[in-house]
Amino acid sequence: MNRFTYERHIPVKRFGQNFLKNKTIINTIIQKMHLKTIDSVIEIGPGLGALTFPICNIVEKITVLEIDENIIFLLLKSKYYKHVKMILTDVIKFDFHYFFSLNTSILYRLIGNLPYNIATCLLINLIQYNVYIFDMHFMFQKEVAHRLLAIPGNKKYGKLSVLAQYFYKIIPVLDVDRYNFFPAPKVDSVFLRFIPYNKFNQNKINRYFFALEQITRMAFQHRRKFLINNLSKLFSEKTLLKFNINPFLRAEDVSIHQYYLLAKNFLKLYV
């Protein structure tokens, strides 16, 4: 292996190709997913198969979504090719709605060592498909993982924390430092598990996603300002007090439950 090639492939920077190379980390990740033979797994960005191939040893079939045609070509040449349904696509543009509607009785298990530039956007996109998802395991750069896990009062608690934690139970699975990848990225990572809350039907997901998106965007626009100022266009002081929310709190001190109450009220008032 020289500086540029890895398993006969030159990693493409714009596709965030930092391949997992540490077998112990890979095995731990697979173990912690508790996969079963009958699981329907979708992997986003299989790369050179670091996770795909060990998963093939457990499940009957895995679907992979990959943007790089050279990678698809290499996967086609692997001994696992018959176990892997390969879809050449940009996952951000992929029609998940169509894909999931092909068999609505399946609850999918998603996995991905995601490229950093699309990770949060993809996670937020996937909220709307939660009814089709059993769980998801994704690698995030540490800073983003901390924002996803942040609790009220923490500087990292923001719009992303509220949206993600409202729709998913998020569990940190494993810290993965940068030297476990080739090439090594500039930052460390954390592997997270996301379990969609099953209390939501599709209609509720769409409505609450819309409401929370609007409210958190305004609430966190000026972090140092009080709620009463940031949310003045949506809620009066009286409404905030009605929900036991102190109007002179800052957005970062409002709990997920309080955001839920605001979203419920927003939907009553405006939608």
Residues at the contact surface with ligand SAM, assessed by CB under 6 A: 15-20, 45-47, 50-51, 65-68, 71, 90-92, 113, 115, 118
Nearest residue to ligand SAM, using CB? 45
In degrees and rounded to multiples of 5, residue 176 shows phi and psi of -130, 110
80 vs 71: CA distance, rounded Å: 14
158 in a labelled binding site: no
Q: Known binder of ligand: residue 90?
A: yes
Closest CA to 123 of 202, 196, 185: 196
Cβ distance to ligand SAM smaller for residue 51 or 190: 51
158 or 185: CB nearest ligand SAM = 185
**Shortest distance, CB of residue 117 to ligand SAM, whole angstroms?**
8
**Is 74 or 195 the residue whose CB approaches ligand SAM more closely?**
74
Question: In the complex, what is the shortest distance from the CB of residue 181 to ligand SAM, in angstroms, rounded to a whole number?
Answer: 7
Q: Is 45 annotated as a binding residue?
A: yes
Which CB sits closer to ligand SAM, 114 or 212? 114
Kindly state the tokens that stand for 99.
Answer: 């894909």
Confirm or deny that 47 is annotated as ligand binding.
no
- The one-letter amino acid code at 34 reads H
In angstroms, what is the minimal distance from the CB of 81 to ligand SAM?
Answer: 16
Using alpha carbons only, what angle is made at residue 246 by residues 240 and 249, rounded to the nearest 5 degrees? 115
- Taking the complex as a whole, the smallest distance from the CB of residue 20 to ligand SAM amounts, in Å, to 4
DSSP-based three-state secondary structure for 122: helix
CA dist., res. 118 & res. 101, Å (int): 24
Q: Of 130, 162, 133, 167, nearest to 148 (Cα)?
A: 162
- Nearer Cβ to ligand SAM (151/184): 184
Minimum Å gap between C-beta 171 and ligand SAM is 20
The answer to whether 66 is annotated as binding is: yes
Name the one residue in this structure whose structure tokens are 């696992």: 80
List, in order, residues 6 or more apart from 228 with CB less than 8 Å away.
237, 240, 247, 248
Report whether 253 belongs to an annotated binding site: no
Q: In the complex, what is the shortest distance from the CB of residue 195 to ligand SAM, in angstroms, rounded to a whole number? A: 21
Cβ–Cβ < 8 Å for 191, 170: no
Three-state secondary-structure class, residue 174: strand
CB-nearer residue toward ligand SAM: 39 or 252: 39
Tell me the angle at which helices 142-149 and 159-167 cross, rounded to the nearest 10 degrees.
Answer: 70
Enumerate the known binding-site residues for S-adenosyl-L-methionine. 18, 20, 45, 66, 90, 113
Enumerate the known binding-site residues. 18, 20, 45, 66, 90, 113
